[in-house]
Structure 1
């Protein structure tokens, strides 16, 4: 077991392959794996670990401090092993190494997303983690499902793509910071570093500026639906949100519907998204759009010391 080498194609491809096999509801590419490792904020102390068997990557871990959390001492450790290579000790080695590293940085509480299936739950609980919030992955068959028709855009609302903000994305950063602060979850985030956001979020290789839709009111972004794509057939909604002053008007719903119509027209055949189980408004929107449940994750937590 060792650290991922971001400039070695076999490493990044192996890492992405494990993640695609273990978690097929999220997009992973070698480029996105490398991006997260080399562009994460220095304060996160981010590490990507790999476990190998006969020279092949069979297990992965992404480990970091939650440096944008409003509460200090929180951290993440997310471990995934190839489904056909479990039971060989790779997961245990990855967890032990990650915990030792985070403890050395002063982390007191570790969070880990775990698929809600028996083997993964047993593994987490055996390592001292307890279940917290749940979230669901949803899938929409863009090739065969009928999307709701596009309604008339309300008066005073202008629909744009993220590409229209390429010269100055700061208004999207400000909207992202406001909406992420209100997301349900155990870790409350506060975005304040615009340059870091540009490096990590705006320049993410999966971010599709032409499919990311923004509802603009009075010249300012009021709602958005952020789209990731693999440039071929798969599409993932990374974030959908509305500024507090404009909630209850259906603007996020409008932005996401337009994004999905554009994705289908561009040739995408599968759309994925994820919802915290307590996010009732977004669950209702995705049900209306035709998404269907495909898997559940549980946010497990462990107190160190």
Structure 2
């Protein structure tokens, strides 16, 4: 009946997926994606995937690492998740304590964690010395039943719609676009994407990324906006990132990319679309509400100083 915490093993991928889907039903994950996250982890991130086990059953998990892409040194993250049927047994606390010990040993000065905005989860975090910083909303769209806007019959001069598959031979233009919009995202940690090979391993080769559903808007041949589509290969679709480069903002190009991607996703048989937005990201929240997305959950990032 004792809960133990250990490092992930490849045979755990199915069980970790089950825990994540139960704990965070508004996210999209698969066993291949769990494996790839571990196998492609940058050594600079000191990444560990922990699992909590009770009587041979995996009941919790936590992704833990150094925020090596942040502009600020010493930042780290730990995100424990426990299956709802097994909470209150100490798995979450043991996962978090193991994570903090690992991060402190790797030189982290503070640790950030996502916490569901509900009394039990917030109480868990506050009891362990974590203080809230900023919220993120998760939104859901009924792709099967909701009417979607149609694509315009003609596009403005110089504007084209493509999919990420068109960049299979050379995805660097998408890396450069992703780096620019990521740098502008509201965040406590922030990130600078400056390592192309790392981006290829972590983002481009992510098993969740669907190149045929990832829509790209170009202006005079240059990437201007995009929406990255993550799917579970069955019914669930997630907007991994939607953004417009600075020189092209205010022209409705993010809406165009998202419309194209959602229409493709529905035609491919996906029935549930999810996305997430920082609560202060008014422009993207407005776009998603325009499509009919509704908030289905909120997480609040918390932080605790180590040592």
Normalising by the smaller structure, the TM-score range is over 0.9
Give, in whole Å, the separation in 1 of the partners of 2:156 and 2:278.
Answer: 29
Structure 1 segments unaligned to the other structure (5+ residues):
none
Q: Secondary structure at the match of 1:69?
A: coil
Shift of 1:145: 0.5
Give, in whole Å, the separation in 1 of the partners of 2:52 and 2:23.
Answer: 14
Structure 2 segments unaligned to the other structure (5+ residues):
none
TM-score for the superposition, normalised by structure 2: 0.97
Match of 1:173 in 2: 175
Give, in whole Å, the separation in 1 of the partners of 2:214 and 2:291.
Answer: 17
Match of 2:68 in 1: 67
Match of 2:224 in 1: 222
1:4 alignment partner, one of 5, 8, 11: 8
Give, in whole Å, the separation in 1 of the partners of 2:234 and 2:104.
Answer: 41
Match of 2:30 in 1: 29
Shift of 1:153: 2.2
Q: Secondary structure at the match of 2:147?
A: coil
Deviation string 1:46-94 (CA, Å, 9 cap, x unpaired) is 0000001111100100001000000000001000000010010101110
Match of 2:280 in 1: 278
Shift of 1:128: 0.6
Deviation string 1:211-263 (CA, Å, 9 cap, x unpaired) is 00000112111100000011111100000001111111111111001100000
What does residue range 31-180 of structure 1 map to in structure 2 within 5 Å? 31-151=32-152, 152-180=154-182
Q: Does 1:211 align with 2:176?
A: no
Deviation string 1:161-180 (CA, Å, 9 cap, x unpaired) is 00000000000000000000
1:238 alignment partner, one of 240, 249, 255: 240
Q: Pairwise CA RMSD of aligned residues?
A: 0.7
What does residue range 181-200 of structure 1 map to in structure 2 within 5 Å? 181-200=183-202
**Aligned positions, number:** 302
TM-score for the superposition, normalised by structure 1: 0.98
Shift of 1:149: 1.9
Give, in whole Å, the separation in 2 of the partners of 1:273 and 1:109.
Answer: 27
1:262 alignment partner, one of 249, 264, 273: 264
Shift of 1:150: 1.6
